[in-house]
Amino acid sequence: MYFRGESHEGSPFSPGGWECHGNIPRFRAMMGGHFRPGMGPVGGGFVGLGPNSARLLLRPAVLLLLAEEPAHGYQLMARLRELGIGKGMDPSLLYRLLRMLESSGLAESSLDDTGAGPARKVYRLTPQGRELLDLWISGLDDALEILQTLKSRYQKMESNR
């Protein structure tokens, strides 16, 4: 499987997303959100930066956490909170994402019945999931540069007021 940027080669943050040749139809579908030019991954409408902006990073954060080690949903929620992403988040959002990752072939699960109580579904990243994580991470420098430019220009504009 390989990916090709549609509008900005080398960046998963490009408005057009990624075209995927392999068993996963498109980067957009894998990310589980809608892409609109200039808006990045959103679940409908514009999602600006603010108190909920950390949720924009939920997908790559879950991919990273699963790359570090397999985990079940409850463990992932705790680890997301450590990253500052899961605070106040409805757990159903994480579980929907995990099901989407699994159905897209980015994660796989197995039942762990070694502990007390009912068996838990433990998720692990697949090679395709690792490839997607690599794409997200490779685009971070570009995204950070853009954000720093926006911040600098805003600060310059405000200082001239």
Query: For 23-46, how does the pLDDT look when each residue is reduced to its tens digit (9 = 90+)?
Result: 334 444 444 444 333 444 444 444
pLDDT of residue 117: 82
Distance separating alpha carbons of residues 49 and 33, to the nearest angstrom: 16
Is-above-0.75 flag for pTM?
no
Q: What is the pLDDT of residue 29?
A: 45
- In 8-133, DSSP assigns E strands to 18-21, 34-36, 40-42, 71-72, 107-112, 120-125
Residue extents of the structural domains in the chain? 2-159
Q: pLDDT, tens digit, for every residue of 43-72?
A: 444 445 555 666 778 999 999 999 999 999
Q: What is the CATH number of domain 2-159?
A: 1.10.10.10
What pLDDT band is residue 118 in, cutting at 50, 70 and 90?
A: confident
